[in-house]
């Protein structure tokens, strides 16, 4: 137990370091780009521009700007928006993260739930039409990029079924209704669900042939107990190892999906702020993503030894 806590502590420090590092790299790169957020403001006098630059500390030499930035990051302060005056970035991004996380959570549910279901059924019915159907569905699902599924989903629910569903699943301006989640979550989760299904099937086929599963049958356990408690429990171990990269994939995928569906999350903010040259927000989003990916992977690594007691930190 103490070992685990120590391990988590170390990982958290590492995540903080990585986050600052990512933030720094993005900071330095963005400052190489000519131009600034105030270029498109009309009727701008040189004095007014100088005042703006001074207000955000952009007239300081790069080194001092950088030191100020890193100090801010370490205190959880990502500065102010350059476009929307006085909007503090940290609380803004926290709010948007919770929107993204909700969609991401349901996408993960789709991925894991559907993936496991298809994989287990295919493995248990190996080489029957059920297996072929499940497996080919998985291949198709894996081959279609999520933005294609997203557009297809829009077409179906926003057009063909619009009247029938009374627009329930379609994005109407304003976000926050639970009914709006399924379609983007499906679009985001489906390709990865196929991946999980394929991995689960292979993994299950291996475990149902193991000696300990034979032991479980020989004990006279019920089929459901043998399959779930003995075969699936062990088959999950390799599946969990890909959960980290998978969550990362869902996070990156959300940039596209949020823009297609107009979901006011981190991914939408990312694109909007780039277009507006709101560099402070851009760096902030990167910083958040770095921390999120780190935390997601840490969560997976903490779950891992619960599934496999042979692993101890």
Partner 1 sequence: MQDLKVQFFVSGGTVNAVDGVSFEIDRGEIVGIVGESGSGKTMTALSLLRLIPEPGRITNGRILYGEKDVAQMTDEEIREFRGNEIAMIFQDPMTSLNPVLRIGFQVEEAMIAHQRFSNKQAKERVVPMLQRVRIPAAKDRVRDYPHQFSGGMRQRAMIAMGVSNEPSLLIADEPTTALDVTVQASIIELIRDLSRELRASVILITHNMALVASLCNRVIVMYAGRIVEQGPTRAIFKNPQHPYTWSLLRSMPRVDEKEKERLISIKGLPPDLGKMPPGCKFHPRCKFRVDRCFTEEPPLDEVDPGQRARCWVLMKNIANPEAQAQT
Residues that bind partner 1 (CB under 8 A): 209-212, 214-223, 225, 229-230, 233-234, 237, 307-310
Report the phi/psi class of residue 79: left, alpha or beta, with left for phi > 0 and alpha for psi in -120 to 50: left
For 105, what's the count of Cα atoms within 13 Å in the CB-facing half-sphere? Answer: 7
Residue 54 or 222: the one with the smaller Cβ distance to partner 1 is 222
Which three-class secondary structure state does DSSP give residue 80? strand
Q: How far is the CB of 134 from partner 1 (least distance, A)?
A: 19
Distance CA 3, CA 15 (A): 18
> Do 123 and 208 form a contact (C-beta atoms < 8 A)?
yes
Residue 5 or 225: the one with the smaller Cβ distance to partner 1 is 225
Residue 239 or 260: the one with the smaller Cβ distance to partner 1 is 239
Q: How far is the CB of 122 from partner 1 (least distance, A)?
A: 16
Q: How far is the CB of 298 from partner 1 (least distance, A)?
A: 22
DSSP designation for 176: -
Q: How far is the CB of 3 from partner 1 (least distance, A)?
A: 16
Distance CA 53, CA 175 (A): 35
Residue 155 or 303: the one with the smaller Cβ distance to partner 1 is 303
CA angle at residue 207 from 201 to 210, to 5 degrees? Answer: 150
Distance CA 295, CA 247 (A): 10
Q: How far is the CB of 10 from partner 1 (least distance, A)?
A: 25
Residue 235 or 283: the one with the smaller Cβ distance to partner 1 is 235
Which stretches of 144-278 are DSSP H helices? Answer: 146-155, 182-207, 211-218, 223-225, 233-241, 243-261, 266-275
Q: How far is the CB of 219 from partner 1 (least distance, A)?
A: 4
Residue 54 or 214: the one with the smaller Cβ distance to partner 1 is 214
Q: How far is the CB of 239 from partner 1 (least distance, A)?
A: 13
Distance CA 305, CA 37 (A): 48
> Do 287 and 70 form a contact (C-beta atoms < 8 A)?
no
Residue 105 or 217: the one with the smaller Cβ distance to partner 1 is 217
In the chain, what is the greatest distance between 2 CA atoms, to the nearest angstrom?
86
């Amino acid at each position: 137990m103490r070992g685990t806590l120590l391990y988590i502590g170390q990982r958290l420090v590492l995540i903080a370091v990585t986050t600052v590092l990512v933030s720094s790299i993005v900071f330095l790169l963005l400052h190489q780009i000519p131009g600034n957020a105030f270029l498109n403001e009309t009727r701008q006098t040189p004095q007014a521009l100088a005042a703006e630059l001074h207000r955000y500390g952009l007239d300081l030499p790069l080194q001092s700007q950088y030191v100020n930035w890193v100090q801010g990051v370490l205190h959880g302060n990502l500065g102010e928006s350059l476009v929307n005056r006085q909007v503090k970035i940290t609380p803004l991004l926290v709010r948007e993260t919770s929107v993204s996380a909700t969609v991401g959570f349901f996408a993960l549910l789709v991925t894991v739930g559907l993936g496991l279901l298809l994989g287990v059924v295919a493995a248990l019915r190996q080489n029957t039409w059920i297996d072929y159907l499940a497996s080919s569905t998985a291949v198709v699902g894996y081959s279609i990029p999520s933005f294609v599924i997203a557009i297809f989903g829009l077409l179906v629910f926003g057009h063909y079924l619009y009247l029938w569903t009374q627009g329930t699943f379609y994005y109407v301006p304003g976000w926050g209704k639970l009914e709006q989640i399924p379609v983007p979550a499906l679009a985001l989760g489906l390709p990865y669900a196929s991946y999980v299904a394929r991995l689960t099937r292979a993994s299950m086929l291996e475990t149902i042939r193991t000696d300990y599963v034979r032991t479980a049958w020989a004990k006279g356990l019920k089929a459901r107990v043998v399959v779930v408690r003995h075969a699936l429990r062990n088959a999950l171990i390799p599946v969990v190892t890909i959960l980290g990269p998978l969550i990362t994939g869902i996070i990156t995928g959300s940039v596209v999906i949020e823009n297609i569906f107009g979901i006011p999350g981190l991914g939408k903010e990312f694109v909007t702020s780039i277009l507006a040259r709101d560099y402070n927000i851009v760096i902030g989003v990167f910083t958040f993503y770095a921390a999120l990916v780190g935390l997601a992977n840490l969560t997976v690594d903490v779950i891992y030894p619960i599934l496999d007691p042979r692993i101890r930190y």
